[in-house]
């Protein structure tokens, strides 16, 4: 996370907040929470990222997928649209390693 872009860090925080909400909603287990997160909070995470980083545009939707690739839908996406999935992985990695997005100043 040290080299990660601010966008990636924000996406991670929103993901963890969603975990907190789902725990509060008594949905237990990482896998169950990720499936629920995909359905209920993925678009919210993307909208939050777009609000914080207007220049992020459609990449917000990609970052909102981070951590959800093991869900039913993430697995289906990988299987049915591998080219799209691989493109998403490249974008996620670029935000993760800071080669894309806004870097922290120190």
Taking CB under 5 A as the criterion, which residues in 50-89 touch Zn ion? 67
Q: How far is the CB of 83 from Zn ion (least distance, A)?
A: 25
Nearest approach in angstroms of CB 15 to Zn ion is 5
**CA–CA separation, 22 vs 44, rounded Å?**
14
Identity of the residue, 67 or 74, whose beta carbon is nearer to Zn ion in the bound complex: 67
Query: Phi and psi dihedrals of 92, rounded to 5?
Result: -60, -45
Q: Is 48 in the site for Zn ion (CB under 5 A)?
A: no
**Contact footprint for Zn ion (CB under 5 A):** 67
């Amino acid at each position: 996370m040290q080299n990660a872009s601010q966008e990636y860090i924000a996406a991670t925080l929103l993901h963890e907040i969603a975990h907190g909400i789902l725990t509060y909603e008594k949905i237990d287990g990482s896998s169950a929470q990720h499936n629920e997160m995909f359905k209920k909070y993925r678009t919210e995470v993307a909208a939050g990222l777009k609000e914080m980083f207007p220049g992020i545009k459609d990449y917000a939707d990609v970052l909102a997928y981070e951590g959800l690739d093991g869900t039913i839908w993430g697995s289906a996406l990988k299987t049915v649209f591998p080219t799209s999935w691989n493109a998403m992985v490249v974008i996620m990695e670029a935000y993760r390693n800071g080669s894309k997005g806004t870097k922290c100043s120190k």
